[in-house]
Amino acid sequence: MPAETTLVMIKPDGVKRGLCGEILSRFERTGLKIAGVKLLILSRELAAEHYGEHSGKHFFDSLLDYVTSGPTLVLALEGPNAIAVVRKLMGSTRPEDAATGTIRGDFALNVDKNLIHGSEHDFDAKREIPRFFTNSELIRWDWNGEDKDAA
């Protein structure tokens, strides 16, 4: 089965609460591999571009305030069905609707601070990943446990 790559962002509340390791380990335990990782503070411009589909909605400005309020851990994760695996592990956007055992179900405080973003579809992943990573910053895995560029 061919691998796909998806974007995951552990938002400022997850970073501030020290949940990066727990969240990342949940993804790794499913077999997903880290293809890229960065810790950064999103500029308002980058955040507005990333969440552009919400522009004009009543919560857009507060969303931008939230995602630019502190460090965000940005990940490119690779694996078979990576997008679906990440979406399932994240749980519902609304924590009160998220199942126990999902990241949001276990850790999110409310819909405004829901810890994590993941690409919704392949089209989104292909648009989102280059926003944060150049090709040279990404590792491509061969799915035998070694990266394709390793000597």
Q: Which amino acid is at 31?
A: G
pLDDT confidence of residue 124: 95
Nearest by Cα to 74 from 142, 6, 149, 146: 6
In the structure encoding, which two tokens stand for residue 91, read together? Answer: 């749980």
Write down the architecture of domain 3-137 according to CATH: 2-Layer Sandwich (3.30)
pLDDT confidence of residue 107: 96
**pLDDT tens column, 43-86:** 999 999 998 888 888 888 998 999 999 999 999 999 999 999 99
Pseudo-torsion of CA 6, 35, 44, 119, nearest 10°? 10
pLDDT confidence of residue 52: 81
Residue 111, judged by CB atoms within 10 A of its CB (0-12, 13-18, 19+), counts as middle
The pTM assigned to this predicted structure is 0.90
In angstroms, the first-to-last Cα distance of the chain is 24
The list of the chain residues with pLDDT below 50 reads: 150-151
Task: For 33, list phi and psi in degrees, rounded to 5.
Answer: -120, 150
Q: Which positions are annotated as active-site residues?
A: 117
pLDDT confidence of residue 150: 46
